[in-house]
Structure formats: C-alpha cells, structure tokens
Amino acid sequence: MNNNIRRIPMAEKQLVIDFLNRHWGSQHPLVNNKTLFDYYYADGDMTNFYVLEDDGEVAAVCGYIKCSEKSDSDIWISIWCAKKGKNGLGLTLMGAMKELTGAKNMSCNNIRENTMPFYTFLGYHPDKMNHFYRISDKNEYKMAVVNNKLIPESAIIDGTELVLMEDISQVKEHFSIPDGMKPQKDYWYINKRYFEYPHYKYKVYVLYSNKKPVSLVVFRVNDSDEGHVLRLVDYIGTKENFYLLSGWVDKLMAEFDCEFSDMYCWGVDGAKAGFVLRDENDTNIIPNYLNTLWQKNIDYFFFTSDPDGFMMFKADGDQDRKNLG
C-alpha cells in the first residue's frame, strides 16, 4: 500500500468533483455549482481540498474553508468523504488536516450526530450547538409553535449603540478585531462572507458601549411567505460583552416586523442578552427551515480541535446558505 496526501490545484479540481459525485451519495451543490465551488474553495491557483491517494487512486478527500487570508488561517472542515471500504484512510486524512493547513484551530459546523465518536477518536471535541431564541409579543404566530409564551425582560443598556455598517471600509474604520479569537477571523473574511456573499444579504453591525466599539454582530432577516425572522448568525468579540446586546434584538425585530429571533451558537450565553435556551423540556417549536416552512426543532452538532474560548455561530463554515439541491 502506497499512500500520498496532496493539495489539489485548481487545474485539477475536476478530480475532486468527480470523486464526490461518485462517492458522496448525491450531487453536492457546493462542488457542482462553479460559482459556489470557486467562492468556497478557490485559493489562488490552488483549491482548498486535500486528497489521500492509495496506490495511485483517490481514496478520500477533505475540503475546508478559511477564516482569514493568512496562509496558516484557522479553518472549518466543509466536506469529508472516503471511498467505501477506505474509512480508515478517511480518518487518516482528517487526522492530518490541522498539520497540513497549519491551522491553530480546526472545526466543523453541522456534523452528523452519529459521527461524533470519530472526532473523539481523533482527539477533537464534538458537541451540540445551543439554540437560543426570543419571540416577539404577538397574538398569533405563523412560523413558531408557541405553547409557552416566555419573553424574558430585556432592555437596552445605557451607553450601548448598534451601528449598521454599509461596507468593509466602514467596518475597518469602526471596529478592531480582537486578537486571540477562536477561530481568528479577519477583514478579508468578513468582507467575503457578509458583503460579497452571492445569495443572502446580511446586516453587519458594530456594537458600542460608552462610545467604545466592543463587538461585531451579524444578522440576517429571513423572509418567507409566512413572515420574517431575525437570525443572529455571527458575533466577533469577547463572550463577556455579549450581554450588551440586551434590548437591541427587540428593537431590530420591531424594525423588520419579525415573529422571532434565534441563533445557533456555542461559546456565549444568550440568556444574558434576553434569549431563551431551547432545551429538551421546551414545548415550543422554533423552526430552522422556513423556505419552505417545516415546523420542527432541529439540532446542530460540531467539533473543534480546541474548545477553550472557542465560539461558533450559524454562518460559520459552509452553513447559513440556500438549499440549492
């Protein structure tokens, strides 16, 4: 047996596409759509895919998304696939990805629950994302199923301000990204992910406290036939400052006429900003899928190579995207 791991150049990207079309089980939209493949995986003249070749044939592939423009950027694993009968080689490739890319932190958003033992075996930390929500005070709910109308008290804290950013130049002017974030995102990533994303429009805000910028907060208003939902999809700042969002979610929900707001996250306490944690005892249904509406509670799972101080939100990795089939 002769194994070789190598990064695939753009000139050979069809090798990855063909392998995944044969072994993924379905046509993966992120690799079969040229625009999305280039958006997520093109990196100059290279792709962000590694393959493990066994006796000259591809046995496993692993694709990743960078958190910053740096060559040793932290990464999110996006696609991991091994040929039938080659699962051990798939684990070998996954176990090598952090060293291959030079990432200090490696994680993956939305793994299958039944694969969590594989990541534990590799020495990573798998876990379940928290799902926080806050409902508007309405007489009727068309998307959420509200059996317990719990709306914790939440008021805007004196001295806080939420300022909408129009472009990345404004972000650079108003907000300095703290060092030591896990993962460490940069302005290149913020611009690409939120101002240049091809399918969704995001609302990027800087949160101020006593005229000092403390965090960057990203929302998306989800429009559907049944109404509007405010989704908090990213937060860059210290977890200790998350409580300063208190009251602002209500203000935004009123501004955009939203039925509820929610966020999938790990690493911050949403309750301190007026959110309710949806747990196994919650009788409410806070649907994740709205286009079309599916009134079912959905759990997300993830892994990270270093959970200490780690944060994850819904838009991390290849999530918070349209279902393109």
Check whether 262 has a pLDDT greater than 50: yes
Residues 206, 213, 241, 161, Cα dihedral to 10°: -60
CB 224 within 8 A of CB 293: yes
- Give the Cα separation of 169 and 229 in Å (integer): 28
- Give the Cα separation of 127 and 141 in Å (integer): 31
Check whether 253 has a pLDDT greater than 90: yes
Mean pLDDT of the region 267-284: 97
Residues 6+ away with beta carbon under 8 Å from 78: 30, 40, 41, 63, 64, 65, 108, 317, 318
Write the CA distances from 37 to 42, 108, 174, 288, integer angstroms: 7, 18, 32, 25
Mean pLDDT of the region 276-292: 96
Q: How confident is the model at residue 50 (pLDDT cuts 50, 70, 90)?
A: very high
**pLDDT tens per residue across span 13-27:** 999 999 999 999 888
Q: Looking at residue 3, what is its pLDDT?
A: 74
Check whether 194 has a pLDDT greater than 50: yes
In order of their start, the domains of the chain are 3-104 (3.40.630.30), 130-313 (3.40.630)
DSSP code for 285: B
Place of tokens 């007026």: 274
Q: Looking at residue 1, what is its pLDDT?
A: 47
Q: Looking at residue 138, what is its pLDDT?
A: 96
User: What's the first-to-final CA gap in the chain, in angstroms?
Assistant: 37
Q: Which SS3 state, helix, strand or coil, does residue 106 take?
A: strand
Tokens of 189: 């990533």
Mean pLDDT of the region 97-119: 96
Element (H, E) at 180: none
Residues 6+ away with beta carbon under 8 Å from 135: 141, 144, 146, 149, 150, 151, 259, 260, 284
Residues 6+ away with beta carbon under 8 Å from 12: 47
- Residue percentage of the chain with pLDDT more than 70: 99
**pLDDT tens per residue across span 128-160:** 999 999 999 999 999 999 999 999 999 999 999
Q: Rounded to two decimals, what is the model's pTM? A: 0.96
Mean pLDDT of the region 162-186: 98
Check whether 42 has a pLDDT greater than 70: yes
Mean pLDDT in the chain?
Answer: 96
Residues 207, 209, 215, 219, Cα dihedral to 10°: -20
Place of tokens 């009727």: 140
Tokens of 259: 């039925």
Of 21-35, 76-90, 152-166, 220-234, the least confident: 21-35
